[in-house]
Amino acid sequence: MATSTMSIDWEDFSQLCSKYEFGKFTEPTQKAIERQTDIMLNLFDETNCKATFFILGKLAAYKPKLVKLIAARGHEIALHGQNHVAMFTLTPEQAKDDIATSQKIVTDIIGAPVYGYRAPFFSIKNENLYLLQSLTELGLTYDSSIFPMELPRYGIPKFPTNDALYILPNGKKIVELPMTIGHFLNKPIPVCGGGYFRLFPGFLLNKIFKCISTQQKDSMIYMHPYEFDSKAIDVSANYPSTATYSKSKVLALNFKWNLFRPSITGKLKSLLQQYNFNTCYEKAELIIQKNDAVPIPILTK
At 66-107, the pLDDT tens digits run 999 999 999 999 999 999 999 999 999 999 999 999 999 999
pLDDT reported for residue 83: 93
Q: Are strands 52-55 and 76-79 parallel, antiparallel or unpaired?
A: parallel
pLDDT reported for residue 150: 85
pLDDT (tens digit, 9 = 90+) per residue, 224-254?
Answer: 999 999 999 888 777 666 666 778 888 988 8
pLDDT reported for residue 301: 44
pLDDT reported for residue 146: 96
pLDDT reported for residue 208: 86
Residues 174, 300: contact at Cβ < 8 Å? no
Question: pTM, whole model, 2 decimals?
Answer: 0.94
Give the dihedral of Cα atoms 114, 119, 120, 126; nearest 10 deg. Answer: 180
The list of the chain residues with pLDDT below 70 reads 1, 22-26, 28-29, 239-244, 299-301
